[in-house]
Structure 1
Amino acid sequence: MITLKQGDKAPAFSGIDQEGKTHTLADYAGKKLVVFFYPKASTPGCTAEACDLRNNFARFEANNYALLGVSADSAVRQTKFKEKYELPFPLLADEDKSVIEAFGVWGPKKFMGKEYDGIHRTTFVIDENGIIEEIIEKVKTKEHAAQILK
């Protein structure tokens, strides 16, 4: 699982968003970047998390933050999620899990007594120089913006 820690250089990722646009770590140099990983678009927890970030988007922008959501959903599913909830930030459709695995958030999970591999809901706050400032592993979906902007 996560081997990255605070103070590490963030992985030099490259991923495709819901519109087919490529995003890389280098694109965000000079800005703080919040990369939030979520298990599945349009599920209750993921919707609560994304909407909380949307509702606080102006605060993020005012503090020089960019936001990037990532899941293994298809571009079609990400587009529907983004449009339905009017999300103002890109969502990476990481179907090959290259970004997810680069950040170490793919691994064994338990749900209702069953074990399976999946995405661990985790957020990385990366500074203007590409260094991991914070890793939030216990995401409060309804108060996530407050966890980041404390």
Structure 2
Amino acid sequence: MLPAPDQDGTAGRLHLAFLASPLAVRDSLARMLAAQPLRSLSPDARGTAEIVLAEVLNNLVEHAYPDGPGPVSVTLIPVAGGIHCLVVDHGLAMPGGKLPEGKLPAVETRLERQPEGGFGWHLIRRLTRDLTYVRTGGSNRLSFLLAQDG
């Protein structure tokens, strides 16, 4: 059982910390969607938030912590025009120390030759604003804005 979300004194701010595993991601995502600030979004914007956060957190499980669960924190802060999201983990760094490009394969690429990954990063890049990544002091910090209007 996850602890209650930390409403740390900032109106509508949400902070969750958990060990990244498939089940914990699912449970944490459900908790985030049911709480402020995501709960106040329109259904379309909430759906976009769910897609983006699910992609980000599932990438952590698969790539940042390939050998088992590790700590992750998600902070959601309401700001003008949307919700600022900060995801911090202590897993492996992004390859090359930068965000994946998230380019889609060429349309003429045969299905069996299409890459396994990259589609999630395409979605993340398309559905967020101000996407940044830094590796500092053994931590990965991913920051982005989810638009209020989805």
Bigger share in helix: 2
Output the TM-score relative to the length of structure 1.
0.25
Which is bigger in relative contact order (C-alpha 8 A, separation at least 6)? Answer: 1
Q: Which has the larger radius of gyration?
A: 2
Output the TM-score relative to the length of structure 2.
0.25
